[in-house]
Amino acid sequence: MAESTKSVVLITGAATGIGNLTARALATAGHTVYASMRDITGRNAQRAEELIQLGQREGQDLRVVELDVTSQESADAAVATILNQAGRLDTVIHNAGHLFVGYVEAFTAEDVAHLFDVNTIGVHRVNRAALPHLRERGSGMLLYVGSTTSVVMPPFLGPYVASKTGADALAQVTAYEVSQIGIETTIVMPGPFTQGTEHFPNASHAADTERAAGYAKLDPLVARNEEATESLFPADVDAHPRAVAEEIVRVLDLPAGQRPFRTVVDFSQAGVEEVTDVMYKAQEEFVTRLGFGQLLHVTRQS
């Protein structure tokens, strides 16, 4: 990907929140953006139309494409549409996700499996759809919207934390492999946000109320979860998820080869940067001792 060329970008989960803000910010920065979401002719029709109208009004190349990350057929069709319309795909931004709030025991195994299907396996489906094209070109970028919860692991979000940690692991190991084909990886790790997204308002709760009742004495702690989170933000800081969108724009606009493997956007000051720095150093040493040090660096294709 030439440094002076703006990217053709696919964003998953762009109906609301970070995905929506990122689609708008990247389009404003001059990228060709495919904002993907489910059911663009039904429940998300108005949201899809708002983005299309925004692009037309502002003279931006902002498009909408149907994509359900729980369906490989849907992911394949979305990528095929992009390639047919734009002729290429440069960057995939994995953003789609859902939040579960509650006591781990009270979520059924089927609940947890569904969340992993969205937050973890969904990432893999989209990569399987996009990577054949990126591999053929020998360039491109996978950008994952991860979570600081995979490091600090807050209470009452057990299935969500597990699913985001799983997605983070898939991203890291996939990065080893695609690096040797010229494909870059960045994991953006947002901290918690209590405004600007529908994460908390639309969160799912454990359906097994009988099991949940066994933890009733903890209910007051769960009830003040958002308040507790907000208390971590400095008083003079606007803790809004637009900062994540701005960071994604910054990363994509860096020259190829100069993009960070991880970057943290966290107003709760959880110390995640320090942890990830130590983790990467240990990982780098271990992989190098295995004799696979080359996998830590992107190989430019001739």
| pLDDT at 195 (0 to 100) | 75
Question: Structural domain boundaries of the chain?
Answer: 8-296
Across 243-255, average pLDDT = 96
Residues ≥6 apart with Cβ < 8 Å to 245: 18, 21, 22, 24, 25, 26
pLDDT of residue 201: 61
Residues for the chain: how many in total?
302
Question: 8-296, which class in CATH?
Answer: alpha beta
Give pTM, 2 decimals. Answer: 0.95
* Encoded tokens for 291: 């004799």
Cβ pair 17, 197 in contact under 8 A: yes
Would you say residue 177 has pLDDT above 80?
yes
In this predicted structure, what is the pLDDT of residue 225?
A: 85
Question: For the segment 128-145, what is each residue's pLDDT rounded down to a tens digit?
Answer: 999 999 999 999 999 999
- Give the tokens for residue 139: 């360039």
8 Å CB contact between 211 and 105: yes
Query: What is the pLDDT, as a whole number, of residue 237?
Result: 85
